[in-house]
């Protein structure tokens, strides 16, 4: 069997002046809870380590620099290293979202997959669909979404990858080669997205064309962002319910249409006591059902035992790409 116990580690409010070391300690506590429940994979949110700073127009380079991890290898960032050390010693793989500053000075909205059995990062993803604007809003009361200002659109594509050590005896189950996507055997095939990417069907499809069985992502989604979505202004409770509805809708629909499990993890709650982000971290099955979901908007571990063989029904029948896709009719997709 290809069963794994997985978790979303939802993270509640992180204020603008939070000390990164303290935030990392919160993440370590979530990892320790995961270890008690024999979890083998924990997915943390987008930009887990700091407040969701793209909501602010920040002119001070010194302040901005604090929100980023600098250098090639995030596992060696002094404030963050203890989290990777804990993951390794607990034998838990982690997906961690963070703001990356590369050696050329470019900013990226990044996540990495750290394999406990390999003791290193085995895959990196940089967010492709950056929402919001470069310029701040004139209305000082409006929450900004300045990802286009602080980050560059991801340049690593959507590379699916296999994660070793999660499924017992995976190596013995078959002689699967890298890229041999449809056997349903061997080490699980993953894809990573970040927040807004989850709303774009192409992103999911590119991963499942490579056989992805598990798509994982973190998010920061405003609870009252109707001014950014262009929809009619709504009362706050209605706006939050709508944001949560759309978040679950895209996760459930895309999991079903791509015959894959998915794990989503929210950075949520009231940053600085006033900037509200939705919760709703969830683990979803290939039939589109939510198997486990967050009940709070605080630090919370959402756990489910999943069986990857449940992807076979969709991948071999309803959504057997080889038999049923009609790519001769899809040309417009990469032309506009």
* Count of positions on this chain that bind ligand CDT (CB under 6 A): 13
Q: Let me know: does 214 contact 40? Beta carbons within 8 Å.
A: no
Catalytic residue among 40, 127, 297, 315: 127
Nearer to ligand CDT, 187 or 293 (CB): 293
We find the least distance from the C-beta atom of residue 220 to ligand CDT, in angstroms, to be: 4
Can 46 be counted among the known catalytic residues?
yes
Q: Residue 101: beta bridge partners? A: 70, 107
For residue 305, indicate whether it is catalytic. Answer: no
Which listed range, 69-77, 111-119, 161-169, 218-226, lies at the site for ligand CDT (CB under 6 A)?
218-226
Contact, 271 vs 16, CB < 8 A?
Answer: yes
Give the x-and-dash track for 219-238 against ligand CDT (CB under 6 A): xxx---x--xx---------
Identify which of residues 131 and 314 has a Cβ nearer to ligand CDT in the complex: 131
Of the candidates 49, 160, 38, the residue with the CA atom closest to the CA atom of residue 92: 38
> In the window 139-158, what residues touch ligand CDT (CB under 6 A)?
145
| Nearer to ligand CDT (CB atom), residue 40 or residue 267 | 267
3-class secondary-structure state, position 84: helix
Residues 267, 12: Cα–Cα separation, whole Å: 6
Report the C-alpha gap between 67 and 7 in whole angstroms: 25
Q: How many CB atoms lie within 10 A of CB 82?
A: 14
Nearer to ligand CDT, 57 or 178 (CB): 57
Which residue from 97, 131, 188, 191 is in contact with ligand CDT, where contact means CB under 6 A?
Answer: 131
Contact, 25 vs 281, CB < 8 A? no
Q: Is the dihedral of CA 126, 132, 137, 143 positive or negative?
A: negative
Binding mask 83-122 for ligand CDT (x = CB under 6 A): ----------------------------------------
Mark whether 268 is an active-site residue. Answer: no
Question: Which runs of E-coded beta strand occur in the chain?
Answer: 3-10, 41-43, 68-70, 93-101, 107-115, 120-126, 161-162, 189-194, 214-219, 261-266, 269-271, 275-277, 282-284, 290-293, 300-307
Contact set for ligand CDT, span 38-57 (CB under 6 A): 46
Contact 282, 293 (CB under 8 A): yes
CA distance 154 to 172: 35
DSSP 100-122: EE-TTS-EEEEEEEEETTTTEEE
Please report how close the Cβ of residue 205 comes to ligand CDT at its closest, in angstroms: 18
Q: How far is the CB of 21 from ligand CDT (least distance, A)?
A: 24
Exactly one of 196, 224, 254, 264 binds ligand CDT (CB under 6 A); that residue is 196
* Polymer length of the chain: 336
Task: Select 122 or 156, whichever has its Cβ closest to ligand CDT.
Answer: 156
126 near ligand CDT (CB under 6 A) = no
Q: One of 111, 195, 268, 284 is an active-site residue; which one? A: 195
Which one of residues 101, 199, 297, 315 is an interface residue with ligand CDT (CB under 6 A)? 199
Nearest CA to 143 out of 35, 55, 64, 263 is that of 55
Residues forming the active site: 46, 127, 195
State the residues that interact with ligand CDT by CB under 6 A: 46, 131-132, 145, 195-196, 199, 219-221, 225, 228-229
């Amino acid at each position: 069997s290809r069963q794994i116990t997985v978790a979303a580690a939802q993270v509640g409010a992180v204020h603008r002046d939070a000390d990164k070391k303290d935030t990392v300690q919160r993440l370590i506590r979530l990892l320790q809870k995961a270890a008690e429940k024999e979890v083998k994979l924990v997915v943390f949110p987008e930009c887990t380590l700091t407040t969701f700073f793209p909501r602010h127009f920040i002119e001070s380079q010194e302040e901005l620099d604090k929100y980023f991890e600098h250098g090639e290898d995030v596992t060696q960032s002094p404030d963050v290293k203890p989290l990777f050390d804990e993951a390794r010693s607990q034998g838990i793989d982690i997906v961690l979202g963070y703001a990356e500053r590369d050696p050329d000075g470019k900013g990226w909205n990044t996540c990495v997959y750290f394999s406990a059995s390999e003791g290193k990062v085995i895959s990196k993803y940089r967010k492709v669909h950056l929402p919001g604007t470069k310029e701040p809003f004139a209305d000082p009361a409006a929450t900004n979404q300045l990802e286009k200002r602080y980050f560059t659109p991801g340049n690593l594509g959507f590379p699916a990858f296999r994660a070793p050590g999660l499924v017992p005896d995976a190596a013995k189950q078959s002689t699967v080669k890298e890229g041999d996507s449809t056997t349903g055997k061997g080490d699980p095939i993953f894809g990573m997205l970040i927040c807004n990417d989850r709303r774009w069907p192409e992103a999911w499809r590119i991963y499942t064309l490579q056989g992805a069985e598990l798509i994982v992502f973190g998010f920061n989604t405003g609870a009252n962002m109707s001014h950014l979505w262009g929809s009619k202004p709504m009362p706050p409770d209605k706006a939050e319910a709508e944001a949560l509805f759309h978040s679950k809708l895209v996760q459930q629909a895309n999991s079903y249409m791509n015959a894959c499990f998915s794990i989503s993890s929210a950075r949520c709650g009231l940053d600085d006591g006033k900037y509200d982000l939705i919760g709703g971290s969830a683990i979803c099955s290939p039939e589109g059902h939510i198997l486990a979901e967050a009940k709070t908007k605080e630090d919370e571990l959402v756990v489910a035992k999943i069986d990857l063989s449940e992807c076979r029904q969709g991948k071999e029948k309803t959504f057997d790409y080889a038999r049923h896709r009609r790519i001769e009719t899809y040309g417009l997709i990469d032309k506009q």
